[in-house]
């Protein structure tokens, strides 16, 4: 099996785990405020990660430190917009709008790395835009503040994917991962008092949410993405991550009975079609 194929299969497995986080976090936000939840989630992950991937983390050089901090800031911004947005929108819509990162990734790559989007990517962007309109139009479920916040999340994730491709090829994966986790936790702690009324009601459900999101969706997923995304192209990685809304929508349907409506479902299908088209036409 080639390195790129192995990397893509691992990224697909990560996407499966991420697909479950929308419903899990939606449940968790009834017991914890968004940024407080993020601070604890990534704080736990920051403590667990060095116990699993042991090495001398104090020996990292300045370039690695800067790269890790940049990735951590972008990751925190993306998660903050997504988590706060989940308070105001459904888990299924959040997942579909987050999937728009695949449309923004070629644009981010063109700006940051001076690589122009391909023909397939541009057609994909068009389909995704139509799909987003149908998903969030009055005939669907409407476009609310949660959707807007999640849209900013998708933009942040797109920029993150491009910079992760750049930095992971130059610096140690374990150092980059730990820096991302610690930075996200620290920034969430600092920002929480200014943007929310902090509260945590410790319940069994919240504990399970912390375990799932901290260990599976953060420690392992962030490390594996940092390690293996570099073996494929950023746009290809974004295409793979576009499968996430499908998994999230199915889980949200069974967990919350959420259904985006028939027009919204058509919009969601067009989003997926756009995501896949941007890949298939460029083979």
pLDDT in tens, 99-149: 788 778 888 988 898 877 677 777 877 887 787 777 666 555 567 888 899
In angstroms, the CA 246 to CA 260 distance is 12
User: How many domains does the chain contain in total?
Assistant: 1
pLDDT of 268: 75
Report pTM.
Answer: 0.83
Q: What single-letter DSSP state applies at residue 53? A: S
| Banded model confidence at residue 255, pLDDT cuts 50, 70, 90 | low
Phi/psi for 13 (5° steps) reads -65, -35
Phi/psi for 154 (5° steps) reads -60, -40
| Banded model confidence at residue 59, pLDDT cuts 50, 70, 90 | confident
Confidence check: pLDDT of 194 > 60: yes
pLDDT in tens, 172-182: 899 999 999 99
Mean pLDDT of 1-28: 85
pLDDT in tens, 218-249: 999 999 999 999 998 887 788 778 777 677 76
Assess contact for 256 and 119: CB atoms under 8 A: no
Number of H helices, E strands in the chain: 13, 0
Tell me the residue range of the domain where 127 lies: 3-280
In angstroms, the CA 187 to CA 81 distance is 13
Q: What is the mean pLDDT of the chain?
A: 85
pLDDT of 99: 79
Instruction: Name, in order, each residue with C-beta under 8 angstroms of 14's C-beta and a sequence gap of 6 or more.
Output: 221, 224, 225
In angstroms, the CA 37 to CA 143 distance is 25
């Amino acid at each position: 099996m080639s390195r790129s194929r192995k990397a893509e299969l691992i990224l697909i497995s990560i996407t499966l785990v991420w697909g479950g986080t929308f419903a899990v976090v939606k449940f968790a936000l009834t017991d914890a405020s968004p940024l407080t939840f993020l601070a604890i989630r990534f704080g736990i992950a920051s403590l667990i990660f060095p116990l699993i991937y042991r090495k001398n983390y104090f020996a990292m050089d300045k370039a690695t430190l800067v790269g890790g901090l940049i990735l951590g800031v972008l990751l925190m911004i993306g998660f903050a917009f997504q988590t706060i947005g989940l308070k105001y929108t459904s888990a299924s819509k959040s997942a579909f709008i987050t999937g728009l990162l695949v449309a923004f990734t070629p644009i981010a790559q063109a700006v940051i790395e001076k690589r122009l989007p391909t023909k397939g990517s541009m057609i994909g962007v068009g389909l995704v835009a139509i799909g987003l309109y149908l998903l969030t139009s009055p005939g669907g479920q409407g476009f609310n503040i949660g959707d807007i916040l999640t849209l900013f999340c998708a933009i942040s994730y797109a920029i993150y994917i491009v910079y992760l491709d750049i930095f992971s090829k130059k610096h140690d994966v374990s150092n980059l991962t730990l820096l991302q986790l610690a930075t996200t936790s620290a920034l969430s702690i600092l920002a929480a008092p200014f943007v929310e009324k902090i509260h945590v009601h410790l319940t069994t459900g919240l504990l399970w949410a912390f375990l799932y999101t901290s260990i599976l969706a953060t420690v392992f997923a962030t490390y594996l993405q940092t390690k293996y995304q570099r073996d494929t192209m950023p746009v290809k990685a974004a295409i793979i991550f576009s499968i996430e809304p499908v998994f999230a929508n199915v889980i949200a349907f069974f967990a919350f009975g959420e259904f985006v409506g028939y027009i919204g479902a058509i919009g969601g299908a067009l989003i997926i079609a756009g995501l896949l088209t941007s890949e298939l036409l460029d083979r």
